[in-house]
């Protein structure tokens, strides 16, 4: 990668202050810029923020709604444009392109497709950024302003800034309890970190998602007896916008059994969660030793899950194994943001 490729680094925080379990950055939309705190999502392409006049439904957000009529740089995008044609879901109203996104948890956003000046940092400004001006937004978004799409499709921030940042980005996600620690979202190549990073190929046969070739999992230093075809049947994506990792049902069963054996010294407790089923009560426990979990990827990349990403805190002393099983082995596997905590995760899309 040439040294001339720029870097833009944004502070990244866990979204707990916004009642959101994903990670957030604050960017500026418009001229003059209005700060909007958005969740960054590698599992979707379209970036959007809630916009006035909010024709249908807007959820309560912490910051004032973005008002495109107060920005000198906002432009609607026409129905006949290439940007409109490239949308997965689109419509038309008075020759203005309409967008729509449905997320995996059935949250939705709909509105106008527009162009706007996006300020990442004071020295990194993206003009004519294509984004969604949300007029009908429903679901589990907490009090954030919208989504920053970092997927592989044409509308993502990564694709729209490929000439500036080279199609490379990275992030580090701090645990939610580390209130004094700030992570980062960086666009561009981070050369100082590459010497400590193991790379695994991206499967580029699919749009939007970042598919990885997960080939095995270890618990407590032992590789689990899972046939490699279990992982290859549906594939595995890495997604900053999903919280808990989903594994094929047979892979999760093997992981859970090995984890339970490694946690036999601790008091198990019934789960109160519909998603997480292996829980422990650590009341009056001074020191907790959790079995290490390692993902094995094609190309020899072995990624040890940080201890903060192994168990999920449900309440003061109740913790659950932070993995879930899919209903079927053919369902898509997802490596969620909990299992990416305290790791430098680099995406090179070129």
8-187 and 197-340 agree in CATH topology: yes
Average pLDDT over residues 40-60: 97
Query: If you average pLDDT over residues 149-161, what whole number do you get?
Result: 97
pTM here?
A: 0.93
Give the start-to-end residue ranges of the domains of the chain.
8-187, 197-340
- Given the DSSP bridges, would you call strands 293-297 and 302-304 parallel, antiparallel or unpaired? antiparallel
CA distance 144 to 249: 33
pLDDT confidence band for 350 (50 / 70 / 90): confident
CATH of 197-340, one of 2.60.120.620, 2.40.70.10, 3.40.50.261, 3.40.800.10: 2.40.70.10
- CATH label, 8-187, candidates 3.30.43.10, 2.40.70.10, 3.40.50.300, 3.40.1160.10: 2.40.70.10
**Over residues 42-64, mean pLDDT:** 97
Residues facing 45 on adjacent strands: none
Contact 272/196 with Cβ under 8 angstroms?
Answer: no
Indicate if 41 belongs to the active site: yes
Separation between Cα atoms, residue 67 and residue 79, nearest integer Å: 22
pLDDT at 273: 84
239: annotated active-site residue: yes
- Answer whether residue 172 shows pLDDT above 60: yes
pLDDT (tens digit per residue) in 296-346: 999 999 999 999 999 998 887 899 999 999 998 899 999 999 999 999 999
First to last CA, the chain: 10
Catalytic residue, candidates 45, 124, 239, 329: 239
């Amino acid at each position: 990668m040439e040294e001339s490729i720029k870097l833009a680094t944004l502070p990244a925080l866990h979204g707990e202050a916004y009642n959101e379990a994903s990670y957030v950055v604050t960017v500026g939309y418009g001229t003059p810029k209005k700060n909007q705190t958005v969740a960054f999502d590698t599992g979707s392409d379209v970036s959007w923020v809630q916009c006035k006049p909010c024709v249908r439904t807007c959820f309560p957000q912490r910051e004032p709604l973005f008002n495109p009529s107060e920005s000198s740089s906002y432009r609607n995008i026409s129905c006949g444009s290439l940007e409109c044609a490239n949308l997965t879901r689109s419509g038309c109203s008075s020759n203005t392109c309409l967008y729509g996104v449905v997320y995996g948890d059935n949250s939705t956003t709909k509105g106008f497709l527009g162009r706007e000046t996006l300020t990442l940092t004071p020295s990194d400004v993206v003009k004519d950024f294509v984004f969604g001006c949300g007029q009908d937004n429903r679901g589990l978004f907490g009090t954030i302003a919208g989504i920053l799409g970092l997927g592989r499709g044409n509308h993502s921030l990564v694709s729209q800034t490929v000439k500036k940042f080279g199609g490379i980005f990275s992030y580090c996600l701090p645990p939610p309890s580390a209130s004094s620690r700030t992570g980062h979202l960086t666009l561009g190549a981070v050369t100082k970190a590459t010497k400590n990073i193991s790379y695994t190929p991206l499967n580029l046969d699919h749009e939007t998602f970042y598919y990885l070739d997960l080939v095995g999992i270890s618990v407590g230093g032992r590789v689990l007896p899972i046939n490699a075809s279990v992982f290859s049947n549906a594939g595995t994506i890495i997604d900053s916008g999903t919280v808990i990792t989903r594994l094929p049902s047979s892979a999760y069963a093997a992981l859970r059994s090995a984890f339970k054996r490694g946690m036999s010294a601790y008091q198990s407790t019934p789960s109160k969660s519909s998603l997480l089923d292996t829980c422990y009560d650590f009341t009056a426990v001074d020191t907790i030793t959790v079995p290490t979990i390692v993902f094995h990827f094609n190309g020899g990349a072995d990624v040890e899950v940080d201890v903060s990403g192994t168990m999920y805190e449900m309440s003061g002393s109740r913790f659950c194994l932070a993995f879930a099983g899919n209903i079927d082995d053919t369902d898509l596997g997802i490596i969620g943001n909990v299992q990416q905590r305290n790791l430098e995760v680099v995406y090179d899309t070129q």
